[in-house]
Amino acid sequence: MKRLTSHNIESLTPYAPGKPIEELERELGLTGSIKLASNENPVGPSPKGIAAIAGHINNLHRYPDGAAHYLKDAISKKFGCSTSEIVLGNGSNELLDIIVRTFLLEGEEAIFAEPSFVVYKMSTQAAGRKGIAVPLNDGRHDLAAMADAINDRTKIIFIANPNNPTGTINTKKEMGSFMARVPTDAVVVVDEAYFEYVTNPEYPDTFKYLRDDRNIIILRTFSKIYGLAGLRIGYGLAPARLVDLMNRVRAPFNTNSLAQAAAMAALSDDEHVKESVRVNEEGKKYLYAELTKMGLDYLPTQANFIWIDLHSDARKLYDALLRKGVIVRPMGPTQIRVTIGLMKENERFVKALAETWAR
């Protein structure tokens, strides 16, 4: 009897999204729960984005602009790149799949950090290709070790900066040293989903490598700081020759018309971005102080979430917090990741954590 699919697919562990708040509340008999598990923007969606959606509702009988002409034009003007250097995806997740399908050929390998965004590994494995996982060093990408892992089969190197789930960054100096060691025929994918939250002046300018015509793909999203996660839209910036190849693989009409309209408007919503950063920085300082008081280990973050090591059973704590109506993300045997929320949500998390955490 023929197999239905490959061993690569059968051995994949599906991505496990959190349950909707409404379903968890129904199961546990709770009300008023807060979700701090998915790195969503607690401020909400861009008001300009919401207004743009309202203006396009009556055109839903039409297919979206398959080339996303207006949105690409807006991205081009904001970042000073050509529209031919922009590719759009149904979230940056789809772009990761497109990248693997486009560039990772039979017998070639991808390198990524561990732990990092799980989709790098999933997309590589689903395509039947080999992935090389390089452990983090002190919660950060060990770019020197990743460069050491490059061989003549290496085709793609994934770097999350800031890294999810640890919130750490690699600096411009580290990135420069790494890029100097990468062969010119390899593709470096820098996932900058949280770059708008970064305040560290040592954060790299990856556009430098785009301007130098390196094989680099910079991934960004409207899901995080712009608050449009429910619309699933992200974009990649890369040399036109790479974008051309990705567009040959990309499905037609892969970004919907409401997402395009909202994203284009959100790009100019500087007040919303500024307020989102303010709320994040305020919450970050509060959580740092409270976690330090409790004697908990955490990694300083440049994103909108914090990686916490409980040195005790993370799943047990997750379940205990859940019963108090606080949803976080267990990330390892003793680690959790908590999204920085509104101040009242941060305070509720700290209170619930203090009541449930056992040293």
Whether the per-residue pLDDT at 35 is higher than 90: the answer is yes
Query: What would the pLDDT profile of 98-152 be if each residue is shown by its tens digit?
Result: 999 999 999 999 999 999 999 999 999 999 999 999 999 999 999 999 999 999 9
Name the percent of the chain lying above pLDDT 70: 94
pLDDT value of residue 14: 63
- Paired strand residues for 234: 89, 221
Averaged pLDDT for residues 28-34: 84
Cis peptide before 64 (omega within 30 of 0): no
Q: Where in the chain is the domain with CATH 3.40.640.10?
A: 47-266
pLDDT value of residue 4: 45
CATH number of 18-45+271-356: 3.90.1150.10
pLDDT value of residue 324: 93
Averaged pLDDT for residues 262-273: 98
pLDDT value of residue 27: 79
Whether the per-residue pLDDT at 32 is higher than 90: the answer is no
Q: Which of 324, 300, 325, 328 is nearest to 315 (CA)?
A: 328
* Three-class HEC string of 120-132: HHHHHHHCCCEEE
pLDDT value of residue 66: 94
Query: What would the pLDDT profile of 295-344 be if each residue is shown by its tens digit?
Result: 999 999 999 999 999 999 999 999 999 999 999 999 999 999 999 999 99
Confidence grade of residue 21 (pLDDT, cut at 50, 70, 90): confident
Report the first-to-last Cα separation within the chain, whole angstroms. 53
Averaged pLDDT for residues 272-290: 98
Cα(127)–Cα(142) distance, rounded to whole angstroms? Answer: 25
CATH number of 47-266: 3.40.640.10
Cα(220)–Cα(340) distance, rounded to whole angstroms? Answer: 20
DSSP 64: P
Q: Which long-range contacts (CB under 8 A, 24 or more apart) does 59-63 make?
A: 59/257, 60/257, 60/258, 62/257, 63/253, 63/257
Query: What would the pLDDT profile of 188-206 be if each residue is shown by its tens digit?
Result: 999 999 999 999 999 999 9
> What's the distance, CA 210 to chain centroid?
20
pLDDT value of residue 16: 61
pLDDT value of residue 138: 95
Which residues have C-beta within 8 Å of that of residue 13, sequence separation ≥ 6?
122
Count the neighbouring beta carbons within 10 Å of the beta carbon of residue 173.
10
Rg (CA), the chain: 21
Cα dist from 179 to 204, 223, 357, whole Å = 12, 28, 42
Query: What would the pLDDT profile of 42-87 be if each residue is shown by its tens digit?
Result: 999 999 999 999 999 999 999 999 999 999 999 999 999 999 999 9
Say if strands 187-191 and 216-221 run parallel, antiparallel, or are unpaired.
Answer: parallel
Averaged pLDDT for residues 30-41: 92
Q: Cα angle vertex 136, ends 131, 142, to 5°?
A: 90
For the chain, the average pLDDT equals 94
Phi, psi of 110 (to 5 degrees): -120, 150
Range name among 26-35, 163-172, 175-184, 315-324 with the lowest pLDDT average:
26-35
Q: Where in the chain is the domain with CATH 3.90.1150.10?
A: 18-45+271-356
